[in-house]
Structure 1
Amino acid sequence: MVARIKAVPLVVSQAALAVTWLLLMAASTAASAAPFTLFESGQVRPLALSPSGRFLYAVNTPDNRLEVFQLKSSGLVPLVSIPVGLEPVAVAARSDEEVWVVNHLSDSVSIVRLDDRNTHGAVVRTLLVGDEPRDIVFAGPGRSRAFITAAHRGQNVPFDPRLTTPGIGRADVWVFDANRTGASLGGDPLSILTLFGDTPRALAVTPDGSRVYAAVFHSGNRSSVIHESLVPNGGEAVGGVPGPNVNFQGLRGPEVSVLVKFDGTNWRDVLNRSWTDKVRFSLPDKDVFVIDATANPPAQLAGSSGFYSGVGTILFNMAVNPVSGKVYVSNTEARNDLRFEGPGTFAGSSLRGHLHESRISVLGSSGVAPRHLNKHINYAACCAALPNAENDKSLAQPLGMAVSSNGTTLYVAAFGSSKIGVYSTAALEADTFVPGTTNQIPLSGGGPTGLVLDEARGRMYVLTRFDNAISVVNTATKQEIAHLPMFNPEPPSVVAGRPFLYDARRSSSHGDSSCASCHIFGDFDSLAWDLGNPDAAVANNPNPIVPVLPEFGTDPTFGQDPGFHPLKGPLLTQSLRGMANHGPMHWRGDRTGGNDTPNAQPNSGALDEAAAFKKFNPSFMDLLGRSAQLTPAEMQQLSDFVLQITYPPNPVRNLDNSLTPQQQAGSDFFFDTTSFFHGPCGSCHQLDPTANPQEGAFAGFFGTNGSSSFDAEPLFPKVPHLRNMYQRVGMFGAGFPFGLQPADPFLGDQIRGFGFNSDGAIPTLFRFNSGFDRSPDNPAGIPNTPEGLAAKANMELYMLAFESNLAPIVGQQVTLTDASPAEALARLHLLMARAHVGECDLVAKGQLASRPVGFLYLRNGGFKPDHAALPPLSEAALRQLVSITRGALTYTCVPPGAGQRIGIDRNLNGVLDGDEP
């Protein structure tokens, strides 16, 4: 028998409580923006129709809610807004009364129960799954099984993710019996499938529910990098770095690594030279997996029937043709095996205006057939002024899709073009379609992420993320006929700046490229690019440099030129998250304000992040292929937006913010033991969560204070932060010795071609740490002893759990009902404990006596209700209310400062939600 939470006697009577709370009324109104943390989570399946076709369900990602609409011939009628978890990105309706919502930041799935009119509802069960879940479908016998994608990590997983182990998959699909989710705290999955790829994103299901397709998000393109130590010095003439090896001034560039791509037999560079003997792993490039949803338990199909390769580099969404069974995969294909930004005058070639290609790949019995959506573009010519006819025809960054019931028409949400593309499936599959504006539907809101067809009414509903709204489209006339905004708590600066990151129409002459082509949803693409510019001059490096210990002299450069040579070699795409308060930008810090004003914390010279970010403006011309830079006002809007993007909590660190014994030992060594000329690792990688407190929510240093540092590498780097090391796991196998660590033997199949360091050439953090081994060149290094090996291994574990702006508890949830297991109370007490020390604000949202309610934890043990006239209630009193009203409350740790808005005053107008008229 499962233990249940017991009701606690109260001083007041149950009857009195019931009468009081039956008076609660709820309302939702649109008003001004609120304190808000910007995560910029990518929506996957933001809309769903009810099985009866009477209702539309939409995720309101920034407001952490499920919005419910009634469908009428006259349009959409809002019915109810239901709080769920943080950053909901996908929704699926099991019935008209039961809807499942995937909460990306909360690592959870909310099961929402509605009344038969869909005018009242609440979360009645919260399933706890792996890190950053993204999509959900129902499949299997009677569509009774829920399939959910998640990363192979997170505090809720019931297994060791083995983050330091080579050759394992890191793409998880959780499967639940929707009729019996289990009695344990987070639910009991039927199985957790681990697929041989990196983090998965999209799912799709066949019409009969027997097969589920799961797509890897950053699936890669079989590209990798050869470490600089394996590349002969002296340039192309001696078998080294492909030329040109000097810039237009004739100044020789540094010795750097070399990008390679596997052609099915060999790893080749841009000159078609083979580097196969230097690569100690293989990349099978398994992109889309096929799962037997009817098996017990569900399982990937065996052999080659169980996956598709070569689908694309970044896989966004999938749709299945209900007649032919063919699968359409929206994706982009990266051209990172080629090089350079700029006009290409000196080198004779450039990636300018042609970085990624937006595609739909068709999967069928004959294999994979990629279809370039913008085959009309003349990439040999660049860069015409805006607007132009070529740009008008382009569709960028395809996301959500829907296929007509007769299988003849595919609708594609072109996120980067603010349009819907309409394709004949026959023409798409045969590649005979002709790009043109006649088969496009412009959307006023911008940034469409997902769509659903309402064929009975001749309508299509599209979620437009730029303005957080829903467009209604007449599919016969191909026109938008209505546009309904949802409540949006985002500051105006976020709404105004977002299009400059994603909108390819205004970012590029061709209309197919934007910053988000590589910075996917403000993050990265898991690739390295060689975006040097041979037509550019060497620039001065004004950034502050970490000093060295006195016994190693007074020159922190050790005679190395820290200047910014434009031939910088391959560098990993960096995230746009968390750049505030972390100094100059790019791996070298070559986007810096330090040449304009003197350096000083918090915001002067090189340490002025806004000034640094504005130095990216030339990239609109040199890389994206725009005819002119953004105006100062436009660049200010983009900067204001991007500098608000925040890292999610670390998914490896314990929820109580403690470290395991090995992680703690690694932390101690990292900060206390000298291992290089500068002192301990922490002397460069500074950790100070309170640094520059005037920066508010963006205060703190998390691995860097913005300084540069000598590290015996060819490039003189800015010290990088360490908040996202866990995202780089998956490359194993080094063909070179590093420190005292010998080269690896061939390690077989791996899931990533890029790892750590600026160019991604170092597979693991353990090997990176070995770069600080004791040697004649580094007498202060880590000794080659059992203790030294343990220190490096422990530091690896610590770095994977490194501190971040937000504590691990942020986003975590628990739902209490009268049938909750006893362990739910322990989890609630954990949330309260972390809120008490300020790591989060704790809110409770739900339904009591059929009325929506909200509460904010006051850290003195009381929960403030969303009615100003009512006193705070104890945790025990809230449990009693849940019991006597047979209600449900979901407790969520939200970012510090957001509790008032999310818990009790949605629009921050001073009138609590329960008191709104």
Structure 2
Amino acid sequence: MKALLLFLLTAITASAYQHFEARQRRPLALTPDGTHLLALHSPASSLSVFATGSGASTPPVLVAEIPVGMEPVSVQARTNDEVWVVNEESDSVSVVSLSRRVAIATIRVGDEPADLCFAGGKAFVSCARSREIVVIDVAARAIVTRIPVNGLMPSAMAVSADGSRLYVASLLSGNKTTVLPAASAPNPPAPTNTALPAAPKTGLIVPANDPRIGWNTLDNDIAEIDTANNQLLRWIGGVGTNLFALAMHPDGALWCANSDSNNLIRFEPELRGEFVKHRLTRIALPAATLTHHDLNPGIARAITPAPASIALALAQPTSVVFTPDGTRSWVTAFNSDRIAETDPATGAILRRVDVRAGSDGVRGPRALVLSADGTRVFVLNKLSDTLTTVGTADGAWISESRIGSMDTILPEHRIGRGILNDARLSGNGTISCATCHLDADHDGIAWDLGDPGGSMVSIPSADLSIHDETVYNRSLHPMKGPMVTQTLRGLALNDSVLNSPAAAIVTKFHWRGDKPTIQSFNTVFPNLMGGTARPDNDMDKVAAYLRSLLHHPNPNRNLDRTLKTNLNGASAVAGRELFLNHTRSHCIVCHAFDAGTDQNLDLPSLVGRGQPMKNPPLRLIYQRAGIYNPGNNQQSLSGYGFGSDGTFHALPEAHPYTLDRLRAADMAPLTTFLMSFDTGTAPVVGYQVTVTPANAAATATSAELALLETRAAWLDAALVASGNLSGLRRTFRWDTPTQRYLADTVTDSPRTRAEMLALVTGAEDTLTFSGTLVERATAFGGDRNGNGIRDRDEAPPALWIGTTPEAVRLRWSSYFDWYPETSTGLSGDWVPWHVAPEEDGGTLFADDFHPTAPARFFRLSRTW
């Protein structure tokens, strides 16, 4: 039955809730013996452990929830007990002991780590934002070396069967397109709406090999690395635009789940229903011969809605696995709420399984694994935070259960999140908002979504760059030219307008400021996706969800949020002074703090533009560092630079400015400051310190905790601690007013830092101190369900057992952090009872329709 879903808010209030959208890469894995399924509950910063059981119709049972770093995105089991978890927001790897149910080590790696593989006694961690592979000695848990990877967002990884080769896919690898600047581009065509004036001169998206282009755009899709000597051997190109997952076929071929964008098609009416192709690509090795398999062959690309196509479409493949004999593969379609069984030999779709069928709510199947016996496929649904089990023999639904007991996503946010990702809302089922805004971010390329048949738009603005606060109406032509896809994260920061009263009336969203609210993007559904406009209430939920999203911290700032005096040989502190110096740089006039923009459409002529453009924020400049290297054969990792249309590749002057008084010596520090611009999230958010008896007395440990305590006082983050002490799971929360750590039970007195460290004395004792978002302090620091009763003071639920001739029924209070165990005797082995619980009237119940004989005993056990 599917009546169990299940979205209970337990700890977070709507008014304060903020979060990150984890880019899950490998959130599901099995232990080597196949007895436990490892699932990441990313919003809860937790690893969930399921007992898989055996048999074709057996549902898995949640048996443990183990705190890890913030925004875990990938998990791999090194042994049946030791599990490594990659934490995107914490920039770390958590090493977890399943038997002890605790993180026993934290290894800090690079910025925004994404995936992990083991080979030759080493762990290889892809760090997407810092563009490197961190190599770790698994025995010593120490970093051996760092391999630079010249790709955009190196993320998903796979290892050859013999362990000699590592393959790393670039999430934003691009598709060998770039922008021909407006000065070199041909004049745009005449508008089809004869009432329109001539279109402005804009750039043009062209193939990167266009002879008019003066730089070399690389196509670094998949890196091949020698795992023995940690050397990058070559790049494989031509795979796709956005690469989501890699998998090795038993025959030795490498497969990539990807999407390929059609951004060479110009204008919104022509792109409607034609955005991307979703594919599985076979890469024959060592020749690297590519064979693309379209997951939607024959899908109608019609402008009008096509229900038959919507019912079959598979959008955004994010995971692929093969049966041991290689004759079949399974793939997730994240935006379609489907998984599919395919024939690798032909690419044919053999079966589609709808993981949403018969239930409300978008699921978002993100990853899957096959059970050890091959009878079941386990599917992690990211958008619903659930686990679906499907039989491989017939594709039959077996069960769906919560990934974890603590639901940290608000109901309205979950609905808005689903709408953003739901390709079934498009005309042919292949497109969603998330097709370009991957995980509410961007796809790394530009699109020309102008409309020759559109209408002019009038936007109020002022010439603030020349100190004129008079409000004018600027006319915007619908043939706007190429625009780089922008992130949907951090939109709430757009509400801060600091520079001028005139700026307060300027609309906020889009490159040209032509969308007054998030809700006004509703036109995308009919005009671009070929579907129908959503009800106002739906768009309100999308807006609420997007406004809850935060940016990652800027790794170029110090942990205490201050600027560095030496970053790449220059001082960000000196750069800030230049930025603020009106007579030297003029930057602050248009790029006001906090967001780095005054939201105004200023004089386009002053920045080399042919049409008005909103002054863009500077929070994410650091993320595009190094994509262009003019000193190395004019090479670019991306065909798209800092400007709105993808032109301008070099800092600090990402656009020409006629009033510039900067000297040559000013360039390096000003660039360094721009690379250090505050994102709105403090660097201590996600930062962790794992304390064991080996480092509990170290001065450095106490110093790190002192810094975390200080930043908590500044409300940069809350500070919590969790771990095992004397064999018991414990959690604590730092309380700034009392300067003490409060425990998960009222029977414990508040403790100082020194007293906390003194607790870690036993050989297996460990405590991990974590900076977390302020609104999560209660849930992560001793009161999971936010009911005012500390976790260790909670009374266990009562268990009721009933029988009929047909079934045994267990019933208990709806605490999802308890699960039933059974045994043939009180002194026997207790094992999980593999029956999927359902919710009914505030209680959970589970039926076994095959009562066992002799009589059995039952009890409830806690997941943490």
For the aligned pair, the TM-score class normalised by the smaller chain equals 0.7 to 0.9
- Deviation of 1:291 after TM superposition, in Å, equals 1.8
The percentage of counterpart residues that share the same residue type is 32
**Higher normalized strand content (fraction of residues):** 2
Contact kept? 2:578, 2:584, Cα under 8 Å: no
The alpha-carbon distance between structure 1 residues 603 and 554, as it changes in their structure 2 partners (threshold 3 A), is closer
Work out which of the residue numbers 94, 112, 121 in structure 2 matches 1:132: 112
Q: Deviations over 1:359-411 (max 9, x none)?
A: 111111341122221121232x31125xx111111100000111101111110
Partner of 1:575: 487
In 2, Cα distance between equivalents of 1:30 and 1:80: 19
Partner of 1:179: 139
Work out which of the residue numbers 624, 640, 655 in structure 1 matches 2:529: 624
Q: Deviations over 1:218-248 (max 9, x none)?
A: 00111111222334xxxxxxxx234236754
Tell me if 1:456 matches 2:373.
yes
Contact kept? 1:728, 1:756, Cα under 8 Å: yes
Q: Which secondary structure state, in structure 1, belongs to the residue aligned with residue 720 of structure 2?
A: strand
The alpha-carbon distance between structure 1 residues 109 and 609, as it changes in their structure 2 partners (threshold 3 A), is farther
Bigger shift: residues 794-803 or 746-755: 746-755
Tell me if 1:862 matches 2:766.
no
Tell me if 1:707 matches 2:600.
yes
- The answer for unaligned runs of 5 or more in structure 2 is 1-6, 566-570, 796-864
In 2, Cα distance between equivalents of 1:601 and 1:907: 42
In 2, Cα distance between equivalents of 1:806 and 1:601: 25
In 2, Cα distance between equivalents of 1:871 and 1:377: 65
Work out which of the residue numbers 657, 681, 705 in structure 2 matches 1:828: 705
Tell me if 1:409 matches 2:328.
yes
In 1, Cα distance between equivalents of 2:589 and 2:470: 16
Contact kept? 2:154, 2:169, Cα under 8 Å: yes
Contact kept? 1:241, 1:257, Cα under 8 Å: no
Equivalent residue letter for 1:201: S
- The answer for unaligned runs of 5 or more in structure 1 is 1-28, 154-170, 182-187, 232-239, 268-273, 343-349, 586-593, 688-700, 734-743, 773-777
In 1, Cα distance between equivalents of 2:183 and 2:617: 24
Work out which of the residue numbers 301, 305, 309 in structure 2 matches 1:384: 305
Greater RCO (CA < 8 Å, at least 6 residues apart):
1
Partner of 1:698: none
Contact kept? 2:582, 2:589, Cα under 8 Å: no
Superposition pairs for residues 186-585 of structure 1, below 5 Å?
188-231=142-185, 240-244=186-190, 247-262=193-208, 266-267=209-210, 274-276=211-213, 279=214, 281-293=215-227, 295=228, 297-301=229-233, 306-322=234-250, 324-342=251-269, 350-365=270-285, 366=287, 367-379=289-301, 381-384=302-305, 388-428=307-347, 433=348, 435=349, 438-443=351-356, 446-456=363-373, 458-485=375-402, 486-487=404-405, 488-506=407-425, 508-542=426-460, 544-545=461-462, 547-549=464-466, 562-582=474-494
The alpha-carbon distance between structure 1 residues 246 and 465, as it changes in their structure 2 partners (threshold 3 A), is same
- Deviation of 1:491 after TM superposition, in Å, equals 1.0
Contact kept? 1:333, 1:358, Cα under 8 Å: yes
In 2, Cα distance between equivalents of 1:395 and 1:885: 51
Superposition pairs for residues 793-812 of structure 1, below 5 Å?
793-812=668-687
In 1, Cα distance between equivalents of 2:512 and 2:720: 36
Contact kept? 1:861, 1:874, Cα under 8 Å: yes
Contact kept? 1:579, 1:609, Cα under 8 Å: no
The alpha-carbon distance between structure 1 residues 122 and 752, as it changes in their structure 2 partners (threshold 3 A), is same
Work out which of the residue numbers 654, 658, 664 in structure 1 matches 2:562: 658
Contact kept? 2:515, 2:521, Cα under 8 Å: no
Q: Deviations over 1:395-445 (max 9, x none)?
A: 0000011110111111001001111011011112xxxx2x57x44443456
The alpha-carbon distance between structure 1 residues 102 and 242, as it changes in their structure 2 partners (threshold 3 A), is same
In 2, Cα distance between equivalents of 1:907 and 1:864: 17
In 2, Cα distance between equivalents of 1:885 and 1:617: 58
Tell me if 1:57 matches 2:38.
yes
Equivalent residue letter for 1:260: V
Work out which of the residue numbers 119, 122, 128 in structure 2 matches 1:151: 128
Give the TM-score of the pair, scaled to structure 2: 0.84
The alpha-carbon distance between structure 1 residues 884 and 796, as it changes in their structure 2 partners (threshold 3 A), is same
Partner of 1:10: none
Q: Deviations over 1:42-77 (max 9, x none)?
A: 211111111111111111100000111111233212
Q: Which secondary structure state, in structure 1, belongs to the residue aligned with residue 444 of structure 2?
A: coil
Equivalent residue letter for 1:637: K
In 2, Cα distance between equivalents of 1:328 and 1:793: 42
In 1, Cα distance between equivalents of 2:644 and 2:596: 15
Partner of 2:88: 104
- Deviation of 1:30 after TM superposition, in Å, equals 6.7
Contact kept? 1:313, 1:334, Cα under 8 Å: yes
Equivalent residue letter for 2:479: L
In 2, Cα distance between equivalents of 1:609 and 1:454: 50
- Deviation of 1:556 after TM superposition, in Å, equals 7.1
In 2, Cα distance between equivalents of 1:609 and 1:252: 19
Work out which of the residue numbers 726, 731, 755 in structure 1 matches 2:641: 755
In 2, Cα distance between equivalents of 1:484 and 1:460: 14
In 1, Cα distance between equivalents of 2:645 and 2:327: 45
- Deviation of 1:298 after TM superposition, in Å, equals 2.4
In 2, Cα distance between equivalents of 1:660 and 1:298: 31
Q: Which secondary structure state, in structure 2, belongs to the residue aligned with residue 516 of structure 1?
A: helix
Partner of 1:184: none
Partner of 2:654: 768
Equivalent residue letter for 2:103: V
Q: Which secondary structure state, in structure 1, belongs to the residue aligned with residue 476 of structure 2?
A: coil
The alpha-carbon distance between structure 1 residues 384 and 618, as it changes in their structure 2 partners (threshold 3 A), is same
Equivalent residue letter for 2:244: F
Partner of 2:48: 67
Contact kept? 1:100, 1:112, Cα under 8 Å: yes
Equivalent residue letter for 2:232: Q
Q: Which secondary structure state, in structure 2, belongs to the residue aligned with residue 872 of structure 1?
A: coil
Q: CA RMSD in A?
A: 2.6
- Number of positions where the alignment pairs a residue of Structure 1 with one of Structure 2: 759
In 2, Cα distance between equivalents of 1:746 and 1:912: 59
In 2, Cα distance between equivalents of 1:481 and 1:191: 45
- Deviation of 1:355 after TM superposition, in Å, equals 0.9
